[in-house]
Amino acid sequence: MGTAIRDAGVLYSNGLGGPADVADWVAEGPLTLGAHSGALELSGALDDAEFGDHAHWTFWCPEEFPDGIRISWEFRPLEEPGLAMLFFAAAGQGGLDLFSPDLAPRTGFYPQYHSGDIDALHVSYFRHKYESERAFRTCNLRKSEGFELVAQGADPLPPTEDAVDFYRLEVVKDGPLVSFAINGLTLFEWTDSSGKVLGGGHIGFRQMAPLRAAYRNLVVEKLR
């Protein structure tokens, strides 16, 4: 399991070496856990050709984080097609905790996350699910509830056959400012001027089947 650390600016650290490191995480949807070369392998448990959009899942870290953080992790695609994203600043509406029983149940079906009773930001950074996404590859930042596309940048991640190592991804969420980078290359920066700026909350990984991907070295740091 991950470690919550309250010094040196690090709020949470998890090597994601395998299923044992995420025993306290919350899975919503048909998720399969595995290990791949010392990293955590995540994939779907259902055939998307048969189950469609109900074959996808979301996997939440149990820690709740404040605003003003840097989230970094390493990602390697193993088998595509599929899509990977990170939810952050996720919280129940009306001041409820993300896991409150007073919220509607969530099963990994995407509309429950972008148009349900939670607020969140989410960046999709490996958008290789559909032919149109593979033909023109972007990283998208959306704000929910509402599925609003608020920022977009080019996606430098290669197809699976060309990914020979892990890539370091980084999200900064600091009040109205959000930035996203891969291997130190900033892909977009966005400032929320809506008047409804999201604050702290939970983070979670999400994939669209049949993507298989590996994750390691998740770190959440306080910016100040």
Mean pLDDT within 126-154: 94
The stretch 139-156 carries a mean pLDDT of: 96
CA distance 7 to 20: 24
Question: What is the arithmetic mean of pLDDT over 193-210?
Answer: 96
CA distances from 103 to 74, 87, 99 (A): 31, 17, 7
- 65 domain-assigned: yes
CATH number (domain holding residue 90): 2.60.120.200
pLDDT band at 5; cut points 50, 70, 90: very low
Is 91 part of any domain? Answer: yes
Q: Look at residue 1 and tell me if it is in a domain.
A: no
CA distance 217 to 212: 18
Overall number of domains in the chain:
1
* Four-CA torsion 11, 121, 156, 128, nearest 10 degrees: 120
pLDDT surpassing 80 at residue 4: no
Q: Which residue is listed with tokens 């074959």?
A: 55
State which residues form the domain around 106: 7-222
- Predicted confidence at residue 172, as pLDDT, reads 98
Between CA 123 and CA 140 the distance in angstroms is: 5
| AA letter at 136 | F
In a domain, 140, yes or no: yes
| Model pLDDT, residue 3 | 62
Q: pLDDT tens digits, residue range 22-53? A: 999 999 999 999 999 999 999 999 999 999 99
What does pTM read for this prediction?
A: 0.94
Q: Which of 202, 215, 222, 207 has the alpha carbon at shortest distance from 22? A: 215
Is 2 part of any domain?
A: no
